[in-house]
Amino acid sequence: MKTNYHTHTQRCLHAQGTEEDYIRAALEAGVSVLGFSDHAPFPDKDYGLRMPYEELDDYFFTLERLANTHASDIIIKKSLEIEYLPQYTSYYEALWETYSPDYLILGEHFFLDDSGRFYNITTQAEDTSVYLLYARAAAQAMKTGYFQMIAHPDIFAMSPFAWDRNCDAATDLILEAAAETGTILEFNANGLRRGIHDYPDGRRHMYPHPNFWKKVPGSGIPVIIGSDCHSPTQVWDECMHQSQAILQTLGICPITLLEDGSSQF
């Protein structure tokens, strides 16, 4: 069964295609559940690479309308991918109350450390000790209960460093929190799309990183493959097949329905 719960749209200003375009591509690929999870805005500040706050109502309204229009062909789920920053607690509450999303995805591209310093994990890791700060923030986020899934949990591995003890410790922190909270781990196909790169310890994808995923079997934590598509052609592409093959090699059997991974639904 083909499903994908991680889909962007042109609203986030770095993806192509409307909601309708992604649904058409999903239908052509034989996808039976398509979850939209565009990059969520924050009410008071534009952190970049996300939909304008003014579009949030229309996004959910459009998804509701298209879910009804296509109800006999495909199941459309409505969601957002969002970072966790503790000062927005009332905003996460409001998102749940106002829009009743089917789920929320934690995509912790940026975070605050214990002293309130802001980091973007994709650009501001000066060394691997920052991965621990990311992992602590992600763990704190998972413990709030707002998020059913963590996108690309191993995104820290994209920084230009070799795998070391901090990487292991960050992985352990994330897996512990996911196990404790029942948060689903996403194996991110978009990381594969970003290609193979040179690292001090060899050539590899930025993420997913095998050393992270090797720790997952036996943990009991559910894993799902997310397309994280930023173009309709990526909804179900070669990288989705490749993700399935990699997980099989690692002895991980991914869930395909979000409901199978969590008792919260």
Which parts of this chain interact with Zn ion (CB under 5 A)? 81, 228
Contact 131, 170 (CB under 8 A): yes
Query: 152's torsion region: left (phi>0), alpha (psi -120 to 50) or beta?
Result: left
Q: Which CB, 108 or 228, lies closer to Zn ion?
A: 228
Q: How far is the CB of 87 from Zn ion (least distance, A)?
A: 22
Q: How far is the CB of 50 from Zn ion (least distance, A)?
A: 8
Helix 165-181 vs helix 129-144: crossing angle, to nearest 10: 0
Contact 106, 86 (CB under 8 A): no
CB-nearest residue to Zn ion? 228
Q: Which CB, 154 or 228, lies closer to Zn ion?
A: 228
User: What are 75's strand-pairing partners?
Assistant: 33
Q: How far is the CB of 254 from Zn ion (least distance, A)?
A: 17
Residues 6+ apart with CB under 8 A from 265: 103, 148, 258, 259
Q: How far is the CB of 194 from Zn ion (least distance, A)?
A: 11
Residue type present at position 158 = M
Q: Which CB, 34 or 163, lies closer to Zn ion?
A: 34
Say how many residues make up the chain. Answer: 265
Q: Which CB, 19 or 81, lies closer to Zn ion?
A: 81
Q: How far is the CB of 150 from Zn ion (least distance, A)?
A: 11
User: Is the backbone peptide bond immediately before 208 cis, with ω within 30 degrees of 0?
Assistant: yes
Q: Which CB, 163 or 205, lies closer to Zn ion?
A: 205
DSSP three-state, residue 205: strand
Q: Which CB, 149 or 221, lies closer to Zn ion?
A: 149
Q: How far is the CB of 7 from Zn ion (least distance, A)?
A: 8
